[in-house]
Amino acid sequence: MASKHKMGYKCRIAGVMLLLLTSIAALIAVAVIQDTWRFLEYSKEYGIVIDAGSSRSNVYLYEWPGAKENETGIVTETLNCKVDGNAISDMKVIPEIEEKTMAGFRKCMDIVTKTIPPTKHNSTRLFLGATAGMRLLQMKDAQRANDVLVKLRQYLSSLPFMFQNASVITGQEEGLYGWITVNYLKGNLVEKNVWNAYVRPQGAKTVGSMDLGGASTQIAFAVQDDLKGADYLRVKLYGYPYNVYTHSFLCYGKNEAGKLVLEKVVQQSSNPKNITNPCYPKGFNTSKKASSIFESQCTKKPQNYDPNQELIFFGGGDSDGCGKVVKSIFDFKTCSSSQCSFNGVEQPPVTGDFLAYAGFFWTALALQLNGTSNINHFNTSVRNFCHKNWATLNAQKNVKFIETHCYAGHYVFTLLADGYKFDTDTWKNINFQQQVKKTNIGWSLGYMLSMSNMIPSEVKKIPPMSNPVFAGLIFLFSALTIMTAVLVFIIFIRTCY
């Protein structure tokens, strides 16, 4: 009888031990399988985007996990290389300029090549997108624009990457990609939940985007689904649709708009050797060739135009006069819709928060403003800056183009207040900012996010289980292991004592 009693305890102990070992084995198996998926998930893919802007070019390297979330990559910026030399729109004019620019491209692409693992070179897609500078060149000299792109395609296709294309993107695309960048970096499109899965933020609101480049400016913001028209684009990101209003104004980038202002100033003067520019500070003078203003596609050549004519400008330091001439380059009267921005372009009312970057940010920074402000403070800062004389401003060493900041301040204020219709209440929603999460804001990241929809994931396997299921099994087997250990302890106590 005693032997049977001992045998019963031994069987129970053996059974409990078997259950304990099974639970531990299952726990380890689940963890190993999920870790294997995690390893596959975080094997990296790479993409390269070259932003060929109107002033200069930048090479961006992006990376994302091999497994995408809802058909879109979780993309981060790894490298930003500024290309030495001129904008690509200046190529095919002077051989020295072209060679310097190409040398800048080679230098950046060498850095990128060394950064990407060699095993990933063949699968890394490479894009070049040219913006407003090339859009203007296409209008002026389509053959030269094509020659520039042909040369760049030949060079980029010789690299050890999967070269896709070198093309000129539209202003509308540039605005949309900028909007995607802003909202991605702000966490409005996708976030990680408590199960470490990527989901759409609960009750998330998107942020409007405003970009000011050298040759164009873009505004983009999400609107109601029922709004339709040429400036409304529907885009799907991370499995969710958005309706985005976006418009690009060619010739209204900071540099080209500056030429429009100088054109007005020259027209108002009778003496090309003594032209008063109210936007230049008092005590400042400079000479410019007529070609630097009137060879642009944005300005009109005057009668008896001589490209080599020397125009001499003297600073007027007149804030009111500068504001008046800046307003004269806009058409605020023509509108066939319920509401327009300027030049007859329909625009719905601006709503929600906006992030203003690139030229907007640098202009605000020159006025010692960044982040948010109110409309009156911004306007007062512009006026105060315009009243500073050249001796005071010139004492600020290493400040580039400081003589243009009065014009730039009036231009940004007029564009936002009179153009986009920001008022006392909505101006407070504008955040002048250049970086989010240490990433420069621009269209190229949004472009890479959009292009990642077309890049097939290298991971073909379906994950063995979702994060909630994985967490549930871990909890179950952990509880089972603890309970089994307690039973073993109880049986041991009863058997031995």
Residue range 44-168, CATH number: 3.30.420.40
- Angle of CA points 257, 262, 431, to nearest 5°: 35
Do strands 439-440 and 310-315 pair parallel, antiparallel, or not at all (unpaired)?
unpaired
Report helix angle 405-414 to 375-386, nearest 10. 150
End-to-end CA distance of the chain: 19
Give 143's pLDDT tier (boundaries 50, 70, 90). very high
pLDDT in tens, 167-208: 999 999 999 999 999 998 898 887 766 666 667 776 668 999
pLDDT for res 200: 73
Quote the tokens at residue 39. Answer: 């390893």
For 155-164, what is the mean pLDDT?
96
354-358 sheet: strands from edge to edge:
232-237, 240-250, 216-222, 208-212, 354-358, 430-432
Cβ-in-10-Å burial (0-12, 13-18, 19+) of 336 comes to exposed
Give the closest residue to 285 by CA, choosing from 298, 276, 294.
276
pLDDT in tens, 285-304: 999 999 999 999 999 999 99
Q: Where are the domains of the chain?
A: 2-42+467-496, 44-168, 178-437
Euclidean distance between CA atoms 35 and 37, whole angstroms:
5
Q: Are residues 46 and 79 in contact, defined by beta-carbon separation less than 8 angstroms?
A: no
The CATH architecture of the domain made up of 178-437 is: 2-Layer Sandwich (3.30)
pLDDT in tens, 403-432: 999 999 999 999 999 999 999 999 999 999
pLDDT for res 492: 54
**Residue positions in the annotated binding site for ATP?**
214-218
Instruction: List residues with catalytic annotation.
Output: 174
pLDDT for res 66: 72
Give the closest residue to 262 by CA, choosing from 311, 303, 224.
311
pTM of the model: 0.81
> Which residues share a beta bridge with 222?
244
Res. 70: pLDDT tops 60: no
Give 43's pLDDT tier (boundaries 50, 70, 90). confident
Res. 157: pLDDT tops 80: yes
Instruction: Give the C-alpha distances (Å, rounded to integers) separating 194 from 83, 187, 191, 239, 467.
Output: 41, 15, 10, 20, 9
SS (H, E, C) 470-490: HHHHHHHHHHHHHHHHHHHHH
DSSP state of 29: H
> Which residues share a beta bridge with 313?
275, 286
Give 65's pLDDT tier (boundaries 50, 70, 90). confident
Euclidean distance between CA atoms 167 and 169, whole angstroms:
6
Do strands 208-212 and 354-358 pair parallel, antiparallel, or not at all (unpaired)?
parallel
DSSP state of 386: H
Sign of CA dihedral 434, 436, 378, 429: positive
> Which residues share a beta bridge with 63?
46, 76
- Angle of CA points 213, 218, 220, to nearest 5°: 145
Quote the tokens at residue 64. Answer: 């994302």
Res. 474: pLDDT tops 80: no
- Helix (H) / strand (E) element for 60: namely strand 57-65
Q: Are residues 255 and 133 in contact, defined by beta-carbon separation less than 8 angstroms?
A: no
Neighbours of 352 (CB within 10 A): 12
Euclidean distance between CA atoms 75 and 307, whole angstroms:
47
Share of the chain above pLDDT 90, in %: 64
pLDDT in tens, 73-109: 678 889 999 999 999 998 887 888 899 999 999 999 9
Quote the tokens at residue 461. Answer: 């396997």
Contacts of 162 (CB under 8 A, 6+ apart): 122, 123, 124, 125, 126
Pick left, alpha or beta for residue 433 (phi over 0 → left; psi -120 to 50 → alpha; otherwise beta).
Answer: beta
Instruction: Give the C-alpha distances (Å, rounded to integers) separating 4 from 7, 14, 387, 488.
Output: 5, 15, 106, 19
pLDDT for res 457: 44
Do strands 310-315 and 275-277 pair parallel, antiparallel, or not at all (unpaired)?
parallel
Give 396's pLDDT tier (boundaries 50, 70, 90). confident
Domain 44-168 and domain 178-437 have a common topology: yes
For 359-385, what is the mean pLDDT?
93
Average pLDDT across the chain, whole number: 85
Euclidean distance between CA atoms 235 and 108, whole angstroms:
32
pLDDT for res 436: 87
Query: Could you please report the per-residue DSSP string of 7-34?
Result: HHHHHHHHHHHHHHHHHHHHHHHHHHHH
